Amino acid sequence: MLARRAFALAGAGKRCASGGVGTVSVKGGEPARASGHMKSSDAIAVPIVQTAAYTFKDSQQLIDFNEGRYPSYEYGRYGNPTVRAVEQKMMELEGAEDCLASTSGMYTAVSMMMALLPEGSRVITTTDCYRRTRQFLNTVINKMGVTNVVIPPGDLDALRCEVQRGAAMFFSESPSNPMLRCVDIPAASQICRAAGTILCIDGTFSTPYNQRPLDLGADIVIHSATKYLAGHHDVLAGVLAGRKDLVEQVRALHGVMGGVLDPHAAYLLLRGLKTLHLRVARQNASAEALARMLHAHPKVKKTIYPSLPHHPDHAYATAQARGFGGVVSFELHGGLHAGAMFTDTLQMPHIAPSLGGCDSLVEQPTIISYWNVPPDERNEIGIQDGLIRFACGVEETDDILADVARALELLDVEKQYLKDTHEAWRIKG
Ligand code: PLP
């Protein structure tokens, strides 16, 4: 009541020169309707254009926009200048004709497949794949009348055979998550091109700093930009880049589905991209050194990193990429308990999903991602209980190595470390 009286005393309801107080609250001090398109600024940083819609001077300008004579934007679901700056930077980084940035890596993968896979078509994928992409392929895509054919990673004969049977797309990560399998992209491209099959590489683990799939013959590259591209563990985003005709089809569906990257998230992604080369170079070097150290350690059963000569894809992976990023996967002797003890003993990395940011992260896939998946199903896709995925950040390499060496030193591979084991958890339901 008092507040209402104070408001009245201050002259509420009185008309200002340009309208009532409500109108002035909305429009006061802001560019007038007639100002036309957005003014550029002299700011070094790309401005965050935080708007949902765009205005036009008059109907003729709108028609000019519709007919491509007046470059601007109309509605936030169809485009935004800050988001476009990300797309243009990524086009240059990937050597792509066009690019579409969106709300997450998963949205990018899903919208790309929904747009490019016709009803009744087949998509070829590999056994090692980010689990949510696999979930989409195994449980959703069939509802669109698309068949998912799964082949072993690196098996070009299986790829040739399935492509010859007819397939709209071959989709694979390279390197893959978490087993770091790589596709021989030039060879896969030759096979796919001959049959008119789209080749799409999820390049999240490589980044364009390490590998440019489009140069190697892929039609599209996608990224969870949440990882290395943004690089600071503070934003979710996805990016698709490649052939213009394909990106346009995905953009058309995106305009309907609306997984729009927020302009502020786009700004963070742009900012992250400015240091991509510095961060990834450091992450390559740390992971390489870590992989070599782990490979020589008696408590480590198996080390997975494509630069190691025993890696199944080593020969072509090293020929087509300058490095393999910050993730090293490895299996410890002692299984579930040893993995948990090692993870908990580390001091440098956070225990967390994700990868590619400035901070090192560590996870034991069985516990963080596959806890409710039965052991035989986990084993089928190579997720052993003692598997660890270590994602190097940009801390000093020596400090990362010293922390891992210390945790291995303290590791007792015989110890029943966890009180409540996976089996006990499953019995309890
Ligand atoms: N692709 C790969 C290889 C990933 O590792 C992930 C997530 O971890 C995704 C796609 C999904 O990305 P986002 O988490 O940004 O949706």
Is residue 61 in some structural domain? no
Contact 141, 132 (CB under 8 A): no
What is the per-residue pLDDT across 183-238, written as a single tens digit (0 to 9) for each? 999 999 999 999 999 999 999 999 999 999 999 999 999 999 999 999 999 999 99
Instruction: Judge if 380 and 420 occupy the same domain.
Output: yes
CATH classification at residue 288: 3.90.1150.10
Between the CA of 327 and the centroid of ligand 1 the distance, in Å, is: 14
In 3-state terms, what secondary structure has residue 34? helix
- Tell me which residues are annotated as active site: 77, 130, 202, 227
Q: In the numeric block, which tokens belong to residue 26?
A: 């909305």
- What's the domain range around 352? 276-428
Judgement on whether residues 129 and 266 belong to the same structural domain of the protein: yes
How many Å from the N-terminal Cα to the C-terminal Cα in the chain?
Answer: 56
Q: Are residues 306 and 229 in the same domain?
A: no
Summarize pLDDT for 42-70 with one digit per residue, the tens.
788 889 999 999 999 999 999 999 999 99
Of 273, 294, 316, which closes a domain?
A: 273
- What is the reported pLDDT for 9? 40
**134 and 291 Cβ atoms separated by less than 8 Å:** no
Strands in 88-225 per DSSP E: 98-102, 122-126, 147-151, 169-173, 198-202, 220-224
- How many Å lie between the centroid of ligand 1 and the Cα of residue 107? 9
Q: Are residues 321 and 246 in the same domain?
A: no
Q: Are residues 89 and 130 in the same domain?
A: yes
Picking from 234, 258, 273, the residue at the C-terminal end of a domain is: 273
Atom of ligand 1 nearest to the CA of 355: 8
> What is the distance between the alpha carbons of residues 259 and 101, in angstroms, rounded to a whole number?
9
Structural domain includes residue 368: yes
Q: How far is CA 323 from the centre of its chain?
A: 18
Crossing angle of helices 244-257 and 105-116, in 10° steps, is 110
Q: Is 94 inside a domain boundary? A: yes
The average pLDDT across 388-416 equals: 98
* Tens digits of residue pLDDT in 239-252: 999 999 999 999 99
Do 253 and 397 belong to one domain?
no
Query: Tens digit of pLDDT for each residue in 349-371?
Result: 999 999 999 999 999 999 999 98
CB 130 within 8 A of CB 202: yes
What is the percentage of the chain residues whose pLDDT exceeds 70? 91
**Best mutation site among 135, 224, 368 for ligand 1, i.e. most ligand atoms within 8 A of its Cβ?**
224
Q: What's the 136 CA to ligand 1 centre distance in angstroms? A: 12
Q: Which tokens is 5 given?
A: 């009286």
What is residue 31's predicted lDDT score, i.e. its pLDDT?
Answer: 64
* C-beta atoms surrounding 50 within 10 Å: 12
CA of 105 to the centre of ligand 1 (A): 5
pLDDT bracket for residue 16 (50, 70, 90): low
Residue 43, pLDDT score: 83
Would you state the pLDDT for residue 12? Answer: 44
Residue minimizing CA distance to atom 4 of ligand 1: 130
pLDDT at 40: 59
Mean pLDDT of the chain: 92
Stated length of the chain? 429
- The single-letter DSSP state of residue 19 is B
Distance 399 CA to ligand 1 centre (A): 27
Number of domains in the chain: 2
Atom of ligand 1 nearest to the CA of 109: 10
Token pair for 174: 């390279």
Give the pLDDT score at 202.
Answer: 98
Same domain, 339 and 220: no
- Greater confidence (380 vs 109) lies with 109
- Residue 41 pLDDT: 67
Same domain, 325 and 219: no
Same domain, 211 and 291: no
- 237 and 289: one domain? no
Closest residue by Cα to atom 1, ligand 1, is 224
Sole residue written with tokens 């087993």 = 179
Tell me, yes or no, whether 1 lies in a domain.
Answer: no
Q: Which two tokens stand for residue 182?
A: 């790589």
CATH number of the domain bearing residue 194:
3.40.640.10
pLDDT over 60 (residue 429): no
Q: Which residues line ligand 1 (CB under 6 A)?
A: 104-106, 109, 130, 133, 173, 177, 202, 204-205, 224, 226, 236, 238
Does the N-terminal peptide bond of residue 178 adopt cis geometry, omega within 30 degrees of 0? Answer: yes
Residues 217 and 349 in one domain: no
Nearest Cα residue to atom 8 of ligand 1: 354
- Domain end, chosen from 207, 238, 273, is at 273
Atom of ligand 1 nearest to the CA of 108: 16
Q: For residue 3, tell me if it sits in a domain.
A: no
Q: Does residue 299 carry a pLDDT above 70? A: yes
Asked, for residue 15, whether it belongs to a domain, the answer is: no
Residue 47 belongs to a domain: no
Same domain? For 90 and 220 the reply is yes
In this structure, are residues 260 and 76 in contact, taking their beta carbons and an 8 Å threshold?
yes
Give the confidence band of 24 by pLDDT, cuts at 50, 70, 90: confident
Whether 336 is covered by a domain: the verdict is yes
Question: Which residues 6+ apart lie within 8 Å of 56 measured at CB?
Answer: 36, 62, 65, 72
Ligand 1: residue of 128, 180, 204, 206 to mutate (most ligand atoms within 8 A of CB) is 204
Predicted pLDDT of residue 376: 86
Cβ atoms of 50 and 264 within 8 Å: the answer is yes
What is the per-residue burial (b if ≥16 Cβ within 10 Å, else e) of 242-271? Answer: bbeebbebbbebbeebebbbbbebbbbbbe
Amino acid 2: pLDDT? 40
Q: What is the pLDDT of residue 424?
A: 53
**pLDDT value of residue 39:** 55
